[in-house]
Amino acid sequence: MKKASIGLAVEGLPFILLCSFSALIFSLIGCWPLTLVLLVATWFSSHFFRDPERVVPTEEGIAVSPADGKVVKIQEAPEPFTGQPRVCISVFMNLFNVHVNRVPVTAKISAITYYPGKFFNASLDKASKYNERCAYSIESSDGNFVMVQIAGLVAQRIVCRVDEADELKRGERFGMIKFGSRVDLYLPENYSPIVSIGESVFAGQTVIAQRKQY
């Protein structure tokens, strides 16, 4: 599953190429105001769709953040596949965070479910139930984790890059939410959070949970 990165998410290439090509055309005909606008649009598109490499931790018994952003909630909530209550860590991505999402642990994807829905502010509790979202159930050697990509007011396009039965290593890319929003990570019973609300995290790099020591 692992693919070399070009530093940009492939989903952003159409935007970047369209803006840059249009800027070139307008510059050739001497339309400088539009050229400037399109160059700025090219820069913003490149920034929004950047996909930097990450140094993925190799220790056993840890889970890394599935998204860049800020931890906004750590609470017990019913996970979407079974409805059983689990500890859930919510990471909110703003417009300026990297939007590419990564798997927290080495695992096999056992189920993917897409839910069409609304586009409430992703920081609200009702977003978990009513917003457009995509849920992933993944099986690791330490148990079952559940990841949920949640669309929001601005981010209204969820991208899933994987299929059921795919096997991914910790830190591999599994999708993105264009222009940010929120990712929830539901932990298995034998894992506990090691981050705090308000803490900034990086996808595939920041350790946000670890296996409990009994």
Please give the pLDDT value at position 49: 81
pLDDT reading at 4 higher than 70: no
Under a CB-based contact definition with an 8 Å cutoff, are residues 158 and 133 in contact? yes
Question: 87-103 pLDDT, tens per residue?
Answer: 999 999 988 899 999 99
- pLDDT, position 156: 58
41-50, 74-83, 164-173: least confident range: 41-50
CATH architecture designation of domain 62-211: Distorted Sandwich (2.70)
Average the pLDDT over 155-184 and give the result.
89
Among residues 181, 192, 196, 200, the one annotated as catalytic is: 181
Tell me, what's the pLDDT at 122?
A: 67
The larger pLDDT score, comparing residue 6 to residue 77, is at 77
Give the global pTM.
0.84
Question: Are the C-beta atoms of 205 and 64 separated by less than 8 Å?
Answer: yes
Angstrom distance (rounded) from CA 149 to CA 137: 12
Give the domain ranges of the chain.
10-48, 62-211
Looking at residue 152, its pLDDT comes to 75
- The tens digit of pLDDT for each residue in 107-143 reads 999 999 998 877 776 666 677 777 889 999 999 999 9
pLDDT for the residue numbered 1: 46
Question: pLDDT of 196-211, one tens digit each?
Answer: 999 999 999 999 999 9
In the chain, % of residues over pLDDT 70: 93
**Structural contact between residues 168 and 145, judged by C-beta atoms closer than 8 angstroms:** no
Predicted confidence band of residue 154 (pLDDT cuts 50, 70, 90): low
pLDDT computed for residue 192 by the predictor: 98
The string of pLDDT tens digits covering residues 21-78 is 898 988 888 888 889 988 988 888 777 788 899 999 999 999 999 999 999 999 999 9
Q: Which two tokens mark 86? A: 């689990």
Burial 105-124 (b: 16+ CB within 10 A, else e): bbbebeebeebeeebbebbe
Catalytic-residue membership of 46: no
